[in-house]
Structure formats: C-alpha cells, structure tokens
A = this chain, B = another copy of it.
Amino acid sequence: MGAESLRNRLEEARKTLYERLDRGEDPTPFYNEAVWPLLLALWREDPPVRPRFQPYEVSIHTVGTSPEATILAILGTGAGRVYLLHTEESQRYLERIQRETGREAYPIRVDKSDVTLIYKTVAELLGRHRGARVALDLTSGTKAMTSGLAAAAFFLQRIHPEVQVVYVDNEGYDPRLRRPIPGTEYLVRLPNPHEVLGDVDEHLARSFYREGEFKKASAYFYETAKKTGQEGFRLYGHLAKVYHSWKDLDFPKAKKDLETLLRDLDRDAHLNHPLNARRKDLEAQQKGLSAILALLEKKDLSDKEGVAWLAATLLAGYEGAKGHLPLAALYAYRALELLLQHLAAGMGLDLEAPRPTPEEEEALKATLKALLPTEGEIRIPERFGLLHLLAYLKAKDHPAFRHLDPKRLQGLQGALRARNKALLIHGLEGPKEGDVDQVARLARELLKGLGVEAKAEPIPL
C-alpha cells in the first residue's frame, strides 16, 4: 500500500477515534487496534522527517512508557545499530519495539530517575562509536532520562561533533488522548543551544581573557560572534588581539588593532557597545602605544612618555607572569633597568659610552664601595649594568634615591647582581622571589615618580 493511501486510511481511523472519545469511551483499545497499525505502516513506508530522511549509522533511544514514540523515532532515524536505554518498567516493550520496527536492538538497562547514569551510558556509547553519525533520540522516557540525554548530547557535541539530537515532535497534542493527534507526528533534529547561543564559547573567551590568555580569548570571542551572529563579540575579539600583541611586545600590531577597534566602536551599530564606556581608557592606551613606538624608533631614553609606557608594559608583564618566577623576574629586572637608564640619561649620562668626570667617577666608586664593602678593587665597566646605574644615580644625589633606606639599598644590591646569574640569562641560578619583589617594588616607585599616567593593564570586561 502506498504512503498516500495509508494517509487517507489514517485520516478515517482518526475520525472514528474521536467519535468514540466523544461518546465517553476509553480511546485506548481502538487506538491500539486500528490507528496505530496504520501509523506504523506509514512510518515504515515513508517516515515524515524534517527537513529530510537521512539515515544515521547509530541511534540511541531512551525508552519510557510510550513505546510508540520510540518505534517512530527508530523508523525515522533508520540507523543500522540501535541502542535502547530502557528502565525496569519499560523492559516489557523491547520485544514489541524490535518486532514492529523490524530491527534488532541492543538493550541497556538504566534507572528512570538516574540522570547521571543515563549521561554516563551515552558518553560511553559515543566513545565506542567515535566518528560515526549518531542520533540521540529523546522522545520517550522520563524527564530525568531526557534531561540526562540532553545534557550529555549538547555538551558532548563539543567532542563528538557528528552527534545529532532528534525527537518526534507533532503538530498537535490531544490532552484527552494524552497523545499527539495521530498522523501529525514527525521527526526533527534539535539544534544545540550552546552552539546557537555561543554561551560556552563566550564563557571560555571571558575566562581566557581574565587569565591573560588573549590569543585563545580572541579566538573564542570570534567564534561566539560567528555562532550568534552578534557583531559585538567581534569587538571583544579585537580587544583581546590588541592585548595579545601588546603582551608579546609587538607594539605596531597592537596599535593597529587598537585603532581598528576604536574605529569599529565609532560605528552607529556599536554606539551602545559596553566597550564604548571604556573609550577614554582605550584612547589613552592608544597614545601609550604610540609613545612606545616613538621610543623604540628614536631610541632616545630620555623620552619620559615612552619610557613610562614601556616600563608599565613590562610591569604588567611581571604581574601577568606571577606564579612563573623566571619570567616574572625578566620583566621586573628589565623594567627597573629601563627606568634607571632613563633617569641616568636625564642626569646627562651617555648610556652607550659612559664617560664620568673624575669627580663623578670618585663619587661613583665611593658609593659602590659602600654598597660592596667586601669587594676588593672597584672598577668602572665600559657599559653600566643595573648596579652601576643605581650607584651613579645615588652618587649624583638623584632625588628618587636620596631618602632610600640604606638597608633596602643593601638588599637591592644583592638582587641586582643576581640578574646575570639567572638560568634564563647566562647562569645556573633560579631567581629568588624576594629579590624579584624588591626589584619590582623599586621599579613601580620610579615609574610613579615620573608622573605619567600609564596604564598598560588590560581593561577588565
């Protein structure tokens, strides 16, 4: 019998069913004897699947107290391998399901109220059929079973993208029958809300951003924008890209990306974007990046603006690398060195070839002698390292060091000399946390003393 003829006969049977219902009769016997066989024949002949019938390799079904729903789902998914997650109560339907679908099925016993067991079972089955097109059907079963299956499916699609969630929907449900109106059933695929809403991606993007993993953050923000179609997320992606390049000391790229972001924020569509509330900070950072680029181009260490922003960048790197001491040390030492170079240049020292006057040299030697009482002969090197820069500024009575506690100076001396012995520089020593803290503290004080408002930290989202 063709599908068209079956549909006509089903229509007739449905009318009879409603007549009996109107007479106050229990509709179940007639449904079972006359309506269901036609519905079954129709689904075996031409299963109504939206958008189209496309057989799966594997299907997994929760079986509750509506075996009919599962039978239709099996016929609609058309899989070669069928798993039935059934309960103690629904075990009795297994024979009928296999007979009426004409398919052998693998029964797996679960508990009707154990959402976790369902989830675990599904995860195991997906692991067993990795790469196969799998349909997860949640038409039948208790709400606990459905929710376990749904949670598993929608989350595990991240790992098994070839898995799809399907169910038998209908165009009308009859509360008197407590069933769909016969003949209005069809199989559909459920979209993954995580994918449509991009919420998992957004969550990951924000987590990575908070943790300073800007490359990953930007990738997830772009993904969120793609999935949701919301352009606003792209701008967060741009921002994360800016900080990625900045953190990597790729200042030209950071500046270019920040300018793109600022231009995008100017567009009508984005006037209400939350980042526009931080526009002033972003513009200040843009100016900061320009100042750094000018410093790097002209290599003029007396450039206060450029030095302040570069030192702030290095100190932000120090903050970001906390918990990774060797890296944190690098940033802190370099920040301090840069600031000392700047101050010394301001006192007239030629950093490339320091030529102190005889009086300066004498004062410098005296300061060094005080710092290194156990050292023998004090020699002035060709180029000044951290310790010599510090001693030079102290000897010149620079205001930043005039009131520095001698004990602190003594401690700094050890910390400064440790730099070159570090494993990542030339030596075999690990940096000491106390040394690095001291160095960073002094760098922060000197930066503050410059009086430039330089905030190189990523703005919080």
Residues of A within 8 A of B (CB): 21, 24-29, 65, 89, 112-113, 115-116, 118-120, 123, 138-139, 142-144, 146-156, 158-159, 165, 167, 169, 173, 175-176, 178-179, 188, 190-194, 196-197, 199-200, 203, 211, 213, 215-216, 247-250, 295-296, 299, 323-327, 330-331, 334, 337, 423-426, 428-430
Q: Are B424 and A334 in contact (CB under 8 A)?
A: yes
Contacting residues, chain B, for A249 (C-beta < 8 A): 325-326, 423-424, 430
Q: Which residue of the partner chain B has the closest CB to A298?
A: B428
Q: Which residue of the partner chain B has the closest CB to A327?
A: B327
Q: Are A138 and B143 in contact (CB under 8 A)?
A: yes
Contacting residues, chain B, for A215 (C-beta < 8 A): 323
Quick one: given A26-B26, A428-B299, are A165 and B147 in contact (CB under 8 Å)? yes
Copies in the complex: 2
Could you tell me the distance in whole angstroms from the C-beta of A119 to the nearest C-beta in chain B? 4
Q: Are A203 and B158 in contact (CB under 8 A)?
A: yes
Q: Are B424 and A123 in contact (CB under 8 A)?
A: no
Instruction: Please measure, in the bound complex, the distance between the C-alpha atom of A230 and the C-alpha atom of B346, giving whole angstroms.
Output: 63
Q: Which residue of the partner chain B has the closest CB to A193?
A: B119
Contacting residues, chain B, for A190 (C-beta < 8 A): 115, 144, 147
Q: Which of B28, B143, B430 contacts A167 (CB 8 A)?
A: B143
Quick one: given A65-B175, A147-B138, A249-B430, are A155 and B194 in contact (CB under 8 Å)? yes
Could you tell me the distance in whole angstroms from the C-beta of A345 to the nearest C-beta in chain B? 13
Q: Which of B119, B138, B425 contacts A197 (CB 8 A)?
A: B119
* 11 sampled A-B residue pairs with Cβ under 8 A: A21-B26, A25-B25, A116-B191, A116-B193, A116-B196, A144-B169, A147-B190, A148-B193, A156-B199, A178-B178, A215-B323
Instruction: Please measure, in the bound complex, the distance between the C-alpha atom of A167 and the C-alpha atom of B65, giving whole angstroms.
Output: 17
Q: Which of B153, B216, B327, B334 contacts A423 (CB 8 A)?
A: B334
Q: Are B147 and A203 in contact (CB under 8 A)?
A: no
Contacting residues, chain B, for A158 (C-beta < 8 A): 203
Q: Which residue of the partner chain B has the closest CB to A306?
A: B428
Contacting residues, chain B, for A142 (C-beta < 8 A): 169
Could you tell me the distance in whole angstroms from the C-beta of A171 to the nearest C-beta in chain B? 10
Q: Are A159 and B203 in contact (CB under 8 A)?
A: yes
Contacting residues, chain B, for A146 (C-beta < 8 A): 138, 143, 146-147, 150
Instruction: Please measure, in the bound complex, the distance between the C-alpha atom of A4 and the C-alpha atom of B65, giving whole angstroms.
Output: 31
Instruction: Please measure, in the bound complex, the distance between the C-alpha atom of A191 and the C-alpha atom of B190, giving whole angstroms.
Output: 23
Q: Are B200 and A425 in contact (CB under 8 A)?
A: no
Q: Which of B199, B248, B295, B326 contacts A123 (CB 8 A)?
A: B199
Could you tell me the distance in whole angstroms from the C-beta of A333 to the nearest C-beta in chain B? 9
Given contacts A152-B193, A250-B430, A330-B330, 20 further A-B contacts (CB under 8 A): A21-B26, A25-B26, A26-B26, A65-B175, A112-B169, A113-B169, A115-B190, A116-B193, A138-B147, A146-B150, A147-B153, A147-B154, A150-B150, A151-B193, A151-B194, A155-B194, A247-B324, A248-B325, A249-B430, A299-B428
* A-B residue pairs, 9 tightest by C-beta: A147-B150, A119-B193, A178-B178, A151-B154, A116-B196, A116-B193, A150-B150, A146-B146, A26-B26
Contacting residues, chain B, for A27 (C-beta < 8 A): 26
Q: Which residue of the partner chain B has the closest CB to A330?
A: B424
Instruction: Please measure, in the bound complex, the distance between the C-alpha atom of A429 and the C-alpha atom of B296, giving whole angstroms.
Output: 7
Could you tell me the distance in whole angstroms from the C-beta of A222 to the nearest C-beta in chain B? 17
Contacting residues, chain B, for A323 (C-beta < 8 A): 215, 248
Q: Are B148 and A151 in contact (CB under 8 A)?
A: no
Quick one: given A139-B143, A215-B323, A249-B326, are A197 and B150 in contact (CB under 8 Å)? no
